[in-house]
Amino acid sequence: MPKRWLFPWLTSLSILLSACTPDARPSAQQPPSQTSGAVQILRVASLGAPPRNFHPYPEPQEYNQPLVDAWTLMGAGLIGVDYDKQDWVVDPRTDMARELPTVSNDGRTFTFILRDDIKWSDGKPIVADDFVFAFENARKEENNFIGLDDLLRIESVRTPTQRTLEVTLDQTYARFIAVGFATLGPVPKHIWEGKPWLDPQGNPEILKPTVVNGPYVLKEVNADHHAYTRNPNWWGKRPNFDEVTFLNAGPQTALELLKTRQADWTQNVPPSQYADAKVSGNVNVVEWTGATGSYRLVLFNLQRPFLSDKRVREALSRAINRQDLVQFEEGLATPQFGLYPQGNTKWLNTSVERYEFDLSRSRQLLQDAGYRLDGTTLRDASGQPVKIEIIWPTTSQPRGKIAAYLQQQWKGLGVDVVVTGLEFATFADKYSRQRDYDVAMGTYGGGSFDPDTVKEQYRTNGTQNTGGYSNPRVDQLLEQGLVEQDESRRKQIYDEIQRLVVDDLPSFQMVTLKGLTAFDRRVTGVSPGKGGDILQQNNMQILDWSLAQ
Amino acid sequence: MASLEDPRTAVVISAASSWGTYRRVWRKLRRDPVTLAAAALLGTIVVVTLMAPIITGLLQTDPDQILRTPTGRIATLEPPGPGYILGTDDLGRDAFARLLHAGRVSLAIGFMVALISVLIGAPAGLLAGYYGGRVDDVINAFVQFVFNVPSLFVLIILSVVLRPDVTVLALIFGFFFWPGTARQVRGVVLSVRALDYIAAAEALGASDLRVIARHVLPNVVNIVLVVAGFDVAGAILGESALSFLGFGVQVPMASWGNMLSGSQDFLRRAPWLVYPPGIMIFLTVLSVVQLADGLRDAFDPRV
Amino acid sequence: MRRFLARRLLQSVLLLWVLMTFTFCLTRLAPGGPESMLLEQPKIQKVDLDRIRARFGLDDPLPLAYAKWLGNVLRLDFGMSYHYLRPPLEVIGERMWATVQLGALAYAIALIGIPLGVAAALNRGRLPDISIRVFTVMSDAVPNWWMALVIIVALSTFAGWVPRGQGTEGPLDWFRHIIIPAAILGLGGIVGFTRYVRSQVLEVIGQDYVRTARAKGLTELAVARDHILRNALLPLVTIFGGLLPALISGAALMEVIFAWPGMGRLYLDAALSRDYPLLLAMITIATIATLLGTLSADVMYGYVDPRIRYS
């Protein structure tokens, strides 16, 4: 239900095996008229294991793709996101507020008016108290909510009537961000009150929610699948599917299930199976470039003497040919320039330095930086051969491929490169906590398309800035960007940030990955916009899908 | 992983043999074409993979080099043809060169595991069997410990704690394999000691060392050769299973296991990536096991 | 007998304790705790991590954490799974049945190895022996996970169907889904049994009493039935117990490939996400199963073979 809370949270070094964000070419098919009689079931082959619990305000370790899928079906938001316009919208098909919130003169207080007809799945009305109840519990530190940081920006929530929410933030923020902070999600107070917030022993709702506010309710969940059925009291647009079932599948069988018509939709198709999927008669491969698409980058550790010199980083970057990387991604990628995925057209500054592939320039830059090529070995001023290690997480084979590619390219410059694959938790520990690496292969993805999303990557001492990058001017601009009210001035600020950061080159953006997913041809109405997750984008487009007979 | 878990069922029947019996063993082997063929096959595989750098050098290919087509594109997933005998992989590298170099890695793991298993297991089994009593109890405690470890589970944790490279993987597998060797050797020593003439030799005051060297060791060598064969096979298959789960030898270093595992998305698209490493694992394991089997029969004096 | 049992039980308990301690230390030595997965979340601050570590009691020094854990385990309390927010035993209980089904069927299939082994031994050097040996050696030389992948593609192409998870629509559907992973898993067992039985039977054939029986003019069948089989198959009971944990371990790969909702996959997930309580509970249970297996094998051996005297 606090769907809107969950969205910004996907911004992370992608843990997933591949880009799993379908944003697609619009399909010409129209949803067929309601078919009577037959029960329509959408069977989804999903790589993620079924959610282990369904806490609406999950702890950080609970937060994963299946949980997001679950709440996309079972939840509704106050307002929604239009990924094409990259702005907030209110969609009567799915949203609980009557319209976008009104803003007070000081820009800190946002007033939402709830629709009169919204109900929980047990028929009880959804009221302002449900929001306040959720807010007051989730903001308690001991309840460990993953989005606590954002909740703490709310100074107060007042409910003049049961249909009105007045949310006051601690300061003014840029409008898009502020609305995000102010948008709360409800929990059914009449069910949850008096039950422990975190302990499933005393609160079975955590393991199996019975009362929700989305188009679907949980039917069953076990280690094999999780299934949802229509919410009889749903007040929004009626979905075409009577049931949606997520079947857990291995990467070896997911696509085969689609081909053999044992599934109607395979959520995650590894790019290496793309060609295979395309030639299968009953498979409709859907691909798109999202505003929140994943992108791959080379992360340099600026604390390492060799890499602290920008000329060296530029030399290494210019040895990478983005076209080669597009080929490794099976063509499902576009070269990226600037700090945002290529689909984030609203905020991307494409006129930054591109560091185009140029090996002779690379050699020159290394020479300028005081390194000399001795035969096939690059030596520093003291005559020591230059060595670097690239780390990558073994859960992401494509990153291993790129690392092997970089090893070859940089070997051509005389740099001795060791490639080390690490199991994910080990990788995360070494990269994020110990910060003990030279070069890491990164993939960022999901999350918000708001430009502030990269702040922690480039801010001095940012939580994701593990390479030790620091530019006071960038820090200053990031602070300004967070609060700037004027959209066009805000655009200038982030254009400037992108120019500065790309000039400093703490990381090298390589390619934006396309979203990729595959449906059975019988599934109609699929028309991905520019969102990340196809289930979420354009306010629950699953409501438009149906199964042709 | 089944083979890794297989009970060491290859029981060698111990008998009084001594260093002089090898001529007889050889005579028997000569009449066993299957075992000879296995030995020849294994020998060929070992020699060819050992010579991998020379061979790929002659063919002017490199297992790590990323190849390009005349148009400048990376030669990804090219089918076998002129230029690349076994085609190229998804990174545009010569599959043949990688296959040969991978063989070095896989065989190295196989033989290192066998070596570790024998170096720890044989002395342990020898001591346990010969001295019995306390020594036996202590060694048996270790053996029981390893036997009762849920191996796959611990393998996974171990390869997380220790970074999986060739040596580490060999040590991990060796840790799980040596008790098998120890048990077999102990059994052999016990049977040999039970023989009348050994008892007589001991009664006549022959030293421990002398008895061990003259009468026990030959039998132990026999069993060790057989067990080592199964260890090599088990380690190669085990590495492939770990690779499949993502805990084996890490790319860009190639092993047959990780080549096989890496090709799983290309079963339909690029069979030239799928079958060669599979066939190499198959042939190697087949020949090693067959050789061990044949040796066991040859050592058996009753046949 | 009773004294033997008591001693073996004591040994087993000791062994269990050593193993538990070993795995406890091992899991804690693995780099990255359960919070490392979260490090990639952009908004995770140090305070968030500290809060999580405190919630899971990860800040205790190793000896203290160990003492606490062991104390709780003695009361059969394995703590709370970090991700399921439930006691590990409850979570394992839900998954165990699926693995037991798979393991049991694989085991039953593996028993085919017994007649195969007998047939091979009785026909030593002749066609049945050679073909059985070729079969065992060959099927042992193919990584079974790879065999599974090839079978999936073949099934998808030729049968238009692939097994996934457990069949839920009646016994036939159940069988359809389980038989392929179970058969692949059981293949290794067939090979093991065949080899073992063959060598056992060969050994018995060489014994004096068999020769005597033959000399007495008994038919080959009678000899085989009364003398060879009985004595050769006796030791089999010792490996019955030992194979069980092997099957559970081996099942993990099949569970991953065929999305079988069993313990093997649960274990892999727990290891990758560093769900220590769940991880340790699973290892403890797997070890107990192994120990019980070996123990029961020893006891059974005593019953079936009167020559064995426990001291």
pLDDT band at C34 (very low <50, low <70, confident <90, very high): confident
Q: Which amino acid is at A153?
A: R
What residues does each domain of chain A span?
Answer: 13-288+515-547, 295-513
DSSP three-state, residue C236: helix
Interchain CB distance below 8 Å, A276 and B247: no
Rounded distance between C-alpha atoms, residue B198 and residue A131, angstroms: 88
Rounded distance between C-alpha atoms, residue B103 and residue B53, angstroms: 11
Q: What is the pLDDT of residue C245?
A: 65
On average, the pLDDT of chain A sits at 89
Chain B residues closer than 8 Å to C146 by CB:
240, 244, 260, 278
Interchain CB distance below 8 Å, C36 and A429: yes
Let me know the angle formed at the C-alpha of B259 by B82 and A394, rounded to the nearest 5 degrees: 130
Q: How far is CA B109 from the centre of its chain?
A: 7
Write out the two tokens for A161: 């009537």
> Is B65 an 8 Å CB contact of chain A?
yes
Let me know the angle formed at the C-alpha of A54 by A53 and A58, rounded to the nearest 5 degrees: 95
pLDDT band at A423 (very low <50, low <70, confident <90, very high): confident
Interchain CB distance below 8 Å, C85 and A199: yes
pLDDT in tens, B59-98: 888 899 999 998 989 999 999 988 889 999 999 999 999 9
Q: What is the mean pLDDT of residues A461-485?
A: 95
ipTM of this complex prediction, to 2 decimal places: 0.88
Q: What is the mean pLDDT of residues B122-144?
A: 89
Q: How far is CA C212 from the centre of its chain?
A: 41
Q: What is the pLDDT of residue A234?
A: 96
Task: Find out whether the peptide bond into B252 is cis, omega within 30 degrees of 0.
Answer: yes
Q: What is the pLDDT of residue B2?
A: 29
| Among C266, C270, C262, C249, residue whose Cα is nearest residue C30 | C270
Q: What is the mean pLDDT of residues C33-46?
A: 73
Q: CA C89 → CA A220, B250, C73, distances in Å?
A: 21, 34, 11
Write out the two tokens for B293: 């089997």
If one compares C53 and A140, the residue with the highest pLDDT of the two is A140
Q: What one-character DSSP code corresponds to residue A93?
A: T
Interchain CB distance below 8 Å, C149 and B144: no
Q: Name residues whose C-beta falls within 8 Å of residue A58's C-beta, 6 or more positions apart in sequence.
A: A67, A145, A146
Write out the two tokens for A437: 């690496």
pLDDT band at A12 (very low <50, low <70, confident <90, very high): very low
pLDDT in tens, C198-220: 888 887 777 777 777 777 777 77
Question: What's the predicted TM-score (pTM) here?
Answer: 0.90
Q: Looking at the predicted structure, is the pLDDT value of residue B121 above 60? A: yes
Torsion on CA atoms C227, C232, C237, C241, rounded to nearest 10 = -170
Q: What one-character DSSP code corresponds to residue C86?
A: S
Residue in B closest to A408 by C-alpha: B65
What residues does each domain of chain B span?
Answer: 7-299
Nearest Cβ partner of B252 from A270, A394, A419? A419
- The CA R_g of chain A, rounded to the nearest whole Å, is 24
Cα dihedral B252, B257, B259, B262 sign: negative
Q: What is the pLDDT of residue A342?
A: 92
Which CATH topology does A13-288+515-547 take? D-Maltodextrin-Binding Protein; domain 2 (3.40.190)
A212-246 b/e (C-beta count within 10 Å ≥ 16 → b): bbbbbbbeebebbbbbbbbbebbbbeebbbebbbb
Interchain CB distance below 8 Å, B153 and C249: yes
pLDDT in tens, C86-117: 899 999 999 988 998 998 899 899 889 989 99
User: Which domains does chain C carry?
Assistant: 2-73 (no CATH), 93-304 (1.10.3720.10)
Rounded distance between C-alpha atoms, residue B191 and residue A519, angstroms: 66
Write out the two tokens for C252: 């993990």
Q: What is the mean pLDDT of residues C69-78?
A: 90
Let me know the angle formed at the C-alpha of A512 by A511 and A514, rounded to the nearest 5 degrees: 130
Rounded distance between C-alpha atoms, residue B216 and residue B219, angstroms: 6
Chain B residues closer than 8 Å to C189 by CB:
2
Reported as type and span, the H/E element at residue A323 is helix A322-328
pLDDT in tens, A170-192: 999 999 999 999 999 999 999 99
pLDDT band at A531 (very low <50, low <70, confident <90, very high): confident
Contact C247, C262 (CB under 8 A): no
Write out the two tokens for B136: 């036996």
CATH node for A295-513 = 3.10.105.10
| Among C138, C159, C147, C155, residue whose Cα is nearest residue C184 | C147
Chain A residues closer than 8 Å to C86 by CB:
200-201, 207
Neighbours of chain C (3+ CB pairs under 8 A): A, B
> Is C149 an 8 Å CB contact of chain B?
yes
Q: Which amino acid is at A81?
A: V
Q: In 10 A of CB C221, how many CB atoms?
A: 9
Interchain CB distance below 8 Å, B264 and C187: no
Q: What is the pLDDT of residue B302?
A: 59
Interchain CB distance below 8 Å, B161 and C30: yes
Chain A residues closer than 8 Å to C48 by CB:
60, 148-149
pLDDT band at B152 (very low <50, low <70, confident <90, very high): confident
- The CA R_g of chain B, rounded to the nearest whole Å, is 22
Chain B residues closer than 8 Å to A276 by CB:
268-269
Q: Name residues whose C-beta falls within 8 Å of residue C29's C-beta, 6 or more positions apart in sequence.
A: B161
Please tell me the least confidently modeled range out of A398-407, C53-62, C200-209: C200-209
Residue A469 has φ and ψ, to the nearest 5°, of -70, 140
pLDDT in tens, A500-529: 999 999 999 999 999 899 999 999 998 887
Interchain CB distance below 8 Å, A256 and C152: yes
Q: In 10 A of CB B56, how many CB atoms?
A: 20
pLDDT in tens, A129-146: 999 999 999 999 889 888
Interchain CB distance below 8 Å, B65 and A394: no
Residue B262 distance to chain A (closest CA, Å)? 9
Which CATH number, 1.10.579.10, 3.10.20.30, 1.10.274.10, 1.10.3720.10, labels domain B7-299? 1.10.3720.10
Residue in C closest to B283 by C-alpha: C141
If one compares B9 and C111, the residue with the highest pLDDT of the two is C111
Residue in B closest to A272 by C-alpha: B265
Contact B170, B220 (CB under 8 A): no
Q: What is the pLDDT of residue B18?
A: 56
Instruction: List, as one string, the DSSP characters of A106-157.
Output: TS-EEEEEB-SS-B-TTSPBP-HHHHHHHHHHHTSGGG--TTHHHHTTEEEE
If one compares C3 and A137, the residue with the highest pLDDT of the two is A137
Q: What is the mean pLDDT of residues A275-286?
A: 91
> Is B247 an 8 Å CB contact of chain A?
yes
Q: What is the pLDDT of residue A271?
A: 87
Rounded distance between C-alpha atoms, residue A520 and residue A526, angstroms: 11
Strands A154-158 and A109-113: unpaired
pLDDT in tens, C274-301: 888 998 998 888 888 878 877 777 777 6
Please tell me the least confidently modeled range out of A221-230, B185-194, C103-112: B185-194
Q: Looking at the predicted structure, is the pLDDT value of residue C311 above 90? A: no
Interchain CB distance below 8 Å, A273 and B66: no
Please tell me the least confidently modeled range out of A443-447, A458-462, C115-119, C262-266: A443-447
